[in-house]
Structure 1
Amino acid sequence: MSEALLKLEGVHTHIGAYHILHGVDLEVPRGQLTMLLGRNGAGKTTTLRTIMGLWQASQGRISFDGQDITKRSTPDIAQAGIAYVPENMGIFGDLTVKENMLLAARSAGRIEQLDEKRLEWIFGLFPAMKKFWLHPAGKLSGGQKQMLAVSRAIVEPRKLLLIDEPSKGLAPAIIANMISAFRELKQTDTTILLVEQNFNFAKQLGDTVAVMDDGRIVHRGAMRELAEDEGLQTKLLGLSLAAHH
């Protein structure tokens, strides 16, 4: 097991009167893609938002790259090298694809300052971004918006990507494109924590997996082991993969 880049120890999160996370213990190994799975309402999105500082942990510790980030502000956490792609994608519909990309790049004030080689690499992953470079992002299809959201997260090198349900509502051809893009991302020494409902998507990409239920991690291990054990899938996720090919 490679060392953990991100570690959550006994993390609790309250949102108003609601106690959502009940002592989450999670390790995300450096350089791997970790899948965070679980039924709806298990606490997966809350976990990502708590890591990002959008919601404060009420108890427990979150460490990233050896630093305690539990009480840090969201901009500080982003500055440390974490990018977050929320489920609603967080793109600016009135702005062009180009403007969206520029806004996401902290080190560039003008388009000429973007790393051209990196931009070409992103265009290779998502050709639609080049094609619609000057189009308003709001006019893109759902799949293209998702590609833009991921492109924005990787416009500069990041140590860790937090991505919430990237395949949700996408057509199979777009999902296949996403899978190949994430495979390529995995080769670049980027660590990824990915929340996903689509088990087929998860098993093709995940190195390690953590399963949540009711605000806790109830299973951790290799993705391959879970993918091969239908009994365990049914127990943890209430699904039989036979129905999800």
Structure 2
Amino acid sequence: MSGDLLTLSGVHTHIGAYHILHGVDLSVPRGKLTMLLGRNGAGKTTTLRTIMGLWRASQGRITFDGKDITALPTPQIAGLNIAYVPENMGIFADLTVKENMLLAARGAKRVEQIDGERLKWIFQLFPAVEKFWNHPAGKLSGGQKQMLAVSRAIVEKRELLIVDEPSKGLAPAIINNMIEAFGELKRSGVTILLVEQNINFAKRLGDTVAVMDNGQVVHSGLMKDLAEDEELQHRLLGLAI
């Protein structure tokens, strides 16, 4: 199947008295990596949390694979094979890496029931996950925690992977490893929606891009077109890629 896997149409989100999203229109093409860019406070994280039902859309429609998910509770949204890696990663610090992975593998009650081939593939993407398999997750470095967070999200096959700033605070070498891993995930056919502030990360990985400002999508198109247009970059982001 082709076309858009996820669409947001006129989505508004209120958090308490604050009106954060002001009619977001966003399309995420099936099998592609879509970058969601914008200055701090533009509404990117709120958009991801609204997709996942963690914050409820007060107006508009969210559609996943042709199904209206706007009013679904978060567990049902996750049950549609949508994985979400929040900015804070959500690692269970007191559990081992292995226990964190087992919790995410909904089809397994014991580690031995996790798909062995898939686990081997994840270890190839993120060797640190295998290296620290029996270590408490809270003892990992920031980069290792981020690798674990993404690994948990893909321990079972997903239709859509949503990740909020995977390179934040990471050393350049770890960022390069993360870029390679997301490139491999793209080649595996998973659809990815990625919020990112690292422009090199966006340029190297993005197929399509949407730029947010003041709670709205103000630009959408091909990532390569934005990467080649310095005037558009300055106008939308205040910088040059």
TM bracket (short chain): over 0.9
SS of equivalent residue, structure 2 residue 84: strand
Query: CA offsets per residue over residues 187-245 of structure 1, 9 Å max, x none?
Result: 1110000000111110000000000000000000000000111111010001123xxxx
Query: CA offsets per residue over residues 28-48 of structure 1, 9 Å max, x none?
Result: 000000000000000000000
| Equivalent residue number for residue 123 of structure 1 | 123
**1:203 maps to 2:209:** no
| Equivalent residue number for residue 216 of structure 2 | 216
The letter of the residue matching 1:82 is I
Matching of residues 25-174 of structure 1 within 5 Å: 25-174=25-174
Query: Cα distance, 1:88 vs. partner?
Result: 0.1
**1:228 maps to 2:228:** yes
1:125, 1:45 → 2: CA distance? 26
2:227, 2:123 → 1: CA distance? 32
The letter of the residue matching 2:168 is K
1:198, 1:234 → 2: CA distance? 15
| Runs of 4+ deviating beyond 4 Å | none
1:200, 1:230 → 2: CA distance? 14
SS of equivalent residue, structure 2 residue 50: helix
SS of equivalent residue, structure 2 residue 170: coil
1:130, 1:106 → 2: CA distance? 20
The letter of the residue matching 2:38 is G
1:126, 1:154 → 2: CA distance? 12
* Equivalent residues, number: 240
Query: Cα distance, 1:116 vs. partner?
Result: 0.2
1:58, 1:149 → 2: CA distance? 29
2:80, 2:128 → 1: CA distance? 30
SS of equivalent residue, structure 1 residue 145: helix
Matching of residues 3-22 of structure 1 within 5 Å: 3-22=3-22
Query: CA offsets per residue over residues 61-113 of structure 1, 9 Å max, x none?
Result: 00001100000000000001110000000010000000000001111111011
Q: Which runs of 5+ in 1 are unaligned?
A: none
1:203, 1:134 → 2: CA distance? 36
Question: TM-score, normalised on structure 2?
Answer: 0.99
2:158, 2:24 → 1: CA distance? 24
The letter of the residue matching 2:180 is S
Query: Cα distance, 1:130 vs. partner?
Result: 0.5
RMSD: 0.5
1:199, 1:233 → 2: CA distance? 11
SS of equivalent residue, structure 2 residue 217: strand
2:3, 2:80 → 1: CA distance? 18
The letter of the residue matching 1:27 is S
